[in-house]
Structure 1
Amino acid sequence: MKEFPLIVTTDWLAEHLDDPQLRIVDATVFMKFPEAGGPPEVESGKASYGKGHIPGAVYADIVGELSDTDSALPFTVPPRETFVEKLTALGIGDGVYTVIYDQNALVGESVAASYWASRLAWQMRYEGFGQIAILEGGLQKWLAEDRDLSTDVPAFPKADFTGQRQENMLATKEDVQKAIDDEQTVLINSLSPEEFAGTQTDDPRSGHIPGSENVFFGLHADEQTKALYDDDKLRALFEHTGALDPDKKVITYCGGGIAATWNALILNKLGQPNVAVYDGSMNEWASDPSCPIVKSTK
């Protein structure tokens, strides 16, 4: 089976819909931030999937089945055996390749980023699944091009899986604490400039981890077309951070480890292989008073 890019176009997917080795996954999650502040409201995209999805797609429930429901933190990786069991039951494993999409579903925002799709792709690679791509522009781009949807729910035979966990892809709080004073590690905060600075709230624990560089995850694609910018423009967004140096390690983080996977994917696309995601991100960091936070711009 030939290698294929980290990101595929809608044209590519349309041409391969009938490939028996292809698995298409809808990873949509809806997230809405209350106007009064506080934690986001999160809803599975399973009902939306049932109303219409890309033909041949199965649904992967990141919220209900593919996150650690026993954790005090939302969306952290579940036990390996749970994740592998759920994915292989969808027919994903050895001998197939997977294209993941979502609906860019940050309610009330115009950010063009398939960050739920990238979250699932990152979890899969972390557990050792291979041959994974993100659909450029997600379902919104697919629909804008008047492509077909289906309500049929495919059933695939349970897959075999022999992959091994890639421990270097996940960063812990302890890894980040060490990285603060490590010149060979670049910390990338993936949130908005306001969240990075801590100016959007009076919360004393808002802001960023000392030494972090800010690259907002919503800057990588056109808000109207949902298409990714070219590599030169993407590189320019990271140039000031040092994250493109292949001799350095990069750790991306955000609020809860979702948007950080989109930045990690873009860095991989630009040729930086040494990227880990801080799974606990600011949810974990800010909850520990011993962890320093900077509340200012750089």
Structure 2
Amino acid sequence: MERIPLIVSTDWLEQRLDDPKLRIVDATTFMDIPENGGPPSVESGRASYDEGHIPGAVYADLLNELSDPESSLPFMAPPHDHFVKKMTELGIGDGTYTVIYDQGALVENPVVAAYWASRLAWQMQYEGYDNIAILDGGLPKWKEEGRPLTAVPGNYSPAVFTGQRRPELIATKEDVQQAMDDDNVILINSLSPEDFRGETDTYPRKGHIPSSVNVFFGIHGDQQTKKVYEDSILREPFEKVGALDPDKKVITYCGGGIAATWNALLLNKLGQKNVAVYDGSMNEWASDPSCPLVTGN
């Protein structure tokens, strides 16, 4: 099967809606960040999916079905067999290709909301799935262009999947501790500059992991067109921190391993294949007093 691009356009997807090998997945999750600080609240996007989605799409519940039920941290990757069981029940497996979208978790800038779609894409890659794409602009762009919607639930036949987990795509707390003193590893904090500098109260402790650099996940798209920037623009912030050096390993992190997957996917798009996501991210790191944090730039 022909390998599809990592990011596809709304035109590209609409032309393939009748392809029996296509699987469309709505990965919408909603996050509300309190104006006065404190941890964000998160809720499933299933009700939003039920109201209207791209024809054929099935809903993947990242919050309730595709996170580790045994973990004290939210959105941690579940065991391989658990994830594969859920995916194959949705009809995703060998001989299919998948386009993932979400409905816009950040209302003020829907294009950067693709990080929910990229979270599912990263989980699929981690568990051995290939041929996965993100829909550029997600459902907000699809709706804006007047493309078809339905409230009829998607229903693909159960699939078989034979891929293997790729442990090199995930980083643990111990990996990050070692990376702080390793010049061959670039640690990227994917949060806002304010979070990076320690000016917010979102996490148990303020600041960023020592030696990490800041590439905010929200700078990679055009708010007017809802499209991801061309590669020439995408490259600039990553090149500035040395993350596109093929001889380096990159570890991305954020608050809970969600936004970090958006930076990781774009690094892959730009040719950097040696990228891992710190799944626990600041939720785990800032909760452990033995893990150092620094403030400022």
Query: Do the aligned residues in 1 keep the contact of 2:207 with 2:293 (CA within 8 Å)?
Result: yes
- Deviation larger for 150-159 or 217-226: 150-159
2: distance between equivalents of 1:215 and 1:249?
16
Residue 125 of structure 1 corresponds to 125
Look up the SS of the partner of 1:53 in the other structure. Answer: coil
Residue 105 of structure 2 corresponds to 105
CA shift digits 1:174-208 (9 cap, x unpaired): 00000001010000000000000001249782110
1: distance between equivalents of 2:28 and 2:45?
5
Runs of 4+ in 1 over 4 A off after TM superposition: none
Residue 55 of structure 2 corresponds to 55
**Residues 18 and 69 from structure 1, CA distance in 2 versus in 1: closer, same or farther, beyond 3 angstroms?**
same
Mark the runs of 5 or more structure 2 residues left unpaired by the alignment.
none
**Residues 203 and 227 from structure 1, CA distance in 2 versus in 1: closer, same or farther, beyond 3 angstroms?**
closer
1: distance between equivalents of 2:32 and 2:197?
22
2: distance between equivalents of 1:155 and 1:85?
16
Letter in 2 for 1:14: E
Q: How many residues align?
A: 296
Query: Do the aligned residues in 2 keep the contact of 1:104 with 1:115 (CA within 8 Å)?
Result: no
**Residue 223 (structure 1) aligned with residue 223 (structure 2):** yes
Residue 189 of structure 2 corresponds to 189
Give 1:105 deviation, angstroms: 0.9
Alignment of 1:54-203 (within 5 A): 54-107=54-107, 109-110=108-109, 112-113=111-112, 114-201=114-201
Letter in 2 for 1:231: D
Query: Do the aligned residues in 1 keep the contact of 2:101 with 2:134 (CA within 8 Å)?
Result: yes
Look up the SS of the partner of 1:112 in the other structure. Answer: helix
1: distance between equivalents of 2:111 and 2:219?
8
Look up the SS of the partner of 1:291 in the other structure. Answer: coil
Query: Do the aligned residues in 2 keep the contact of 1:111 with 1:218 (CA within 8 Å)?
Result: no
Give 1:288 deviation, angstroms: 0.7
Letter in 1 for 2:285: W
Give 1:110 deviation, angstroms: 2.4
Mark the runs of 5 or more structure 1 residues left unpaired by the alignment.
none
Identity %: 68
1: distance between equivalents of 2:203 and 2:74?
20
Give 1:142 deviation, angstroms: 0.4
**Residues 203 and 7 from structure 1, CA distance in 2 versus in 1: closer, same or farther, beyond 3 angstroms?**
closer
Look up the SS of the partner of 1:62 in the other structure. Answer: coil
Alignment of 1:1-20 (within 5 A): 1-20=1-20
State TM-score, norm by structure 1. Answer: 0.97
Give 1:26 deviation, angstroms: 0.1
Letter in 1 for 2:83: F
2: distance between equivalents of 1:239 and 1:177?
24
Give 1:278 deviation, angstroms: 0.1
**Residues 142 and 293 from structure 1, CA distance in 2 versus in 1: closer, same or farther, beyond 3 angstroms?**
same
Query: Do the aligned residues in 1 keep the contact of 2:111 with 2:138 (CA within 8 Å)?
Result: no
Letter in 1 for 2:111: A
**Residue 41 (structure 1) aligned with residue 44 (structure 2):** no
Q: Considering only aligned residues, what root-mean-square deviation do their CA atoms show, in Å? A: 1.2
Letter in 2 for 1:195: D
- Deviation larger for 223-232 or 274-283: 223-232
Letter in 2 for 1:167: P
